[in-house]
């Protein structure tokens, strides 16, 4: 499979600048936001997008660039297996106190249940 560059937006561009630049360069019209979905205002979109971008970066560096896939289907299956079998269950995360996300969630639920019982 070939790899394509996702964005050529300058590093200091704001979210609004990126959206207008990318839609102009591709000739595509940006999607019309749905009024039934609550969306973060202004700069909040950047922070929500940053989480996705960070995950995509980790996925590429730690898994995709280290493996070769014969088909898109194989890539999807192996990436999904890596996410559910390693990324969420074994990978240690500094934000979670160097626990895996699953262990952190289980500990958080157990502590919450203890606080509610007390």
Q: Helices 44-62 & 15-26, crossing angle to 10 degrees?
A: 70
Sign, CA torsion 58/51/69/89: positive
Considering the entire predicted model, what is its pTM?
0.49
Tokens of 14: 């704001």
Per-residue pLDDT of the chain (118 residues; tens, 9 = 90+): 545 444 444 444 444 544 444 445 555 555 555 555 555 555 566 667 888 888 899 899 999 999 999 999 999 999 999 998 888 888 888 888 888 888 899 999 998 888 887 6
Domain ranges, ordered by start, for the chain:
15-25+45-87, 91-118
Tokens of 52: 């996705």
Expressed in percent and rounded to 5, the helix, strand and coil fractions of the chain are: 60, 0, 40
């Amino acid at each position: 499979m070939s790899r394509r560059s996702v964005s050529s937006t300058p590093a200091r561009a704001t979210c609004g600048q990126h959206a207008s630049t990318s839609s102009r360069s591709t000739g595509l019209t940006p999607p019309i936001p749905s009024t039934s979905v609550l969306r973060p205002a202004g700069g909040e979109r950047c922070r929500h997008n940053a989480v996705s971008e960070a995950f995509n970066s980790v996925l590429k560096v730690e898994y995709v660039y280290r493996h070769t896939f014969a088909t898109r289907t194989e890539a999807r299956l192996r990436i999904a297996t890596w996410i559910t079998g390693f990324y969420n269950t074994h990978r240690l995360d500094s934000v979670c106190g160097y626990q895996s996300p699953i262990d952190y969630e289980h500990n958080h639920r157990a502590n919450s249940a203890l606080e509610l019982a007390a």
